[in-house]
Amino acid sequence: MFLYDSMPNSTGRDRLRSIRSLLLWITSRFLDKIRSPWTPWILSCLIFLYILALNQHSHTHHTCSTKSNTLNLYSHNKSFPNPNKFCILQPVLSPSHIQWNSSTITQHSALHLFLTSFIQSYNNSTDSHLNFHMYYGHDADDSLFSNQSLVNLFITHAQTLTNTNPMPIHFHFIPLYQLHSRITAIWNELAFQAYNDGCSYFFLSNDDMLIYTKGWTSQSVNELNRNRGTVLCQQFGIVRFKDEWADWAKFTFHVSTRFHMDIFDKVYYPIPFKTTHNDYWIYQVYRNWRGDYYESKIKMRNRVVENGSKEVAEPRYEYDKKEGIHAWVNYGSERVEKWMKLNHKTHALCSNKGKIQIINDDKKQSSSKRKRKAI
């Protein structure tokens, strides 16, 4: 903006040339009147200086334009508007049988389970460049979060947790209407809000989970900032972790970026499932592009009971049937492929050397099975 404002507009340049031409004409007429033997020499020098001034002005304008284009290119190549904004999205549900007050609020799982472990996982030497934002999605009539006095009390207790391990964290409370137990829709709503707020990294969490690994946020961000996947794009895909509540749970939690929201038109989970299989969907979509990275050293645990023991808590909502999930995985992979073909060669985060090549391991495995049966 500064460079643009400092450049004269076309009307100003034309007016300046007219004034110079008028002065040159007046000077030549004056020299012609006095008929000095030096008149031709003086007139030639004036014409030379006039031409030199025009060339210099043209060169200056060209230089300013180049700087302006460079500035625009630099702005275009910036990865994200807030490259250090790390956002945690969390559906929360407050048990209605508890009378929430200053004594009972510390019993809320969002405080004494998730947030306590999250703050303890903060590593000041590696994570200090990140700005953390908590997005709580709650029912509009939630027994705790619908009461502003209790929300203020919640924030006060949350801030006391940072006294032992100071970290930059901001809280956002999003009231939801008619989305009770619709986990996929809640995460879509929170992700949309966080995206519009300029979040760069997204971590979808539960309030009844624990985080065990210190410095996991910066580890995830560093991994995402490498050239990743078959298309060689930075900040493409997901980083997933080990969920210790089950041996198979290696994709239940992940970190993604704005890239994902761009590809799917600002809808985090464009699938029809109400409560489950969303984590499996995103894992399979990016697995087809070698864009899912498993960080086995980062460990978490979902479905933690209130007392924090090793016992697995009962699910708080009914699981969806898995029918049709593979069709939606194929849909997601096709969306990635379409977006990449249109954008990856010009996108600031992608290498031109990246190839658009989808890898479907499921199809390969099915083909191998058919061959073995034929033999």
| pLDDT tens digits for range 10-37 | 344 444 445 555 555 555 565 555 656 6
Question: What pLDDT sits at residue 345?
Answer: 80
Positions in the chain whose pLDDT score sits under 50: 1-17, 54-78, 249, 305, 363-375
pTM exceeding the 0.75 threshold for the entire prediction: no
Q: How far apart are CA 373 and CA 375, in angstroms?
A: 5
**Which fold is adopted by the domain 85-343?**
Spore Coat Polysaccharide Biosynthesis Protein SpsA; Chain A (3.90.550)
> Buried b vs exposed e over 62-101: b needs ≥16 C-beta within 10 Å?
eeeeeebeeeeeeeeeeebebbebbbbbbbbbbeeeeebe
| Sheet arrangement for strand 210-211 | 169-176, 131-139, 85-91, 201-204, 254-257, 238-243, 292-301, 210-211
Question: What pLDDT sits at residue 303?
Answer: 53
Question: What pLDDT sits at residue 309?
Answer: 54
**SS3 (DSSP) at 239:** strand
Side chain identity, residue 240: R
CA angle 242/267/234 to nearest 5° reads 60
Instruction: Determine the distance from the C-alpha atom of residue 307 to the mean position of all C-alpha atoms in its chain, rounded to a whole number.
Output: 35
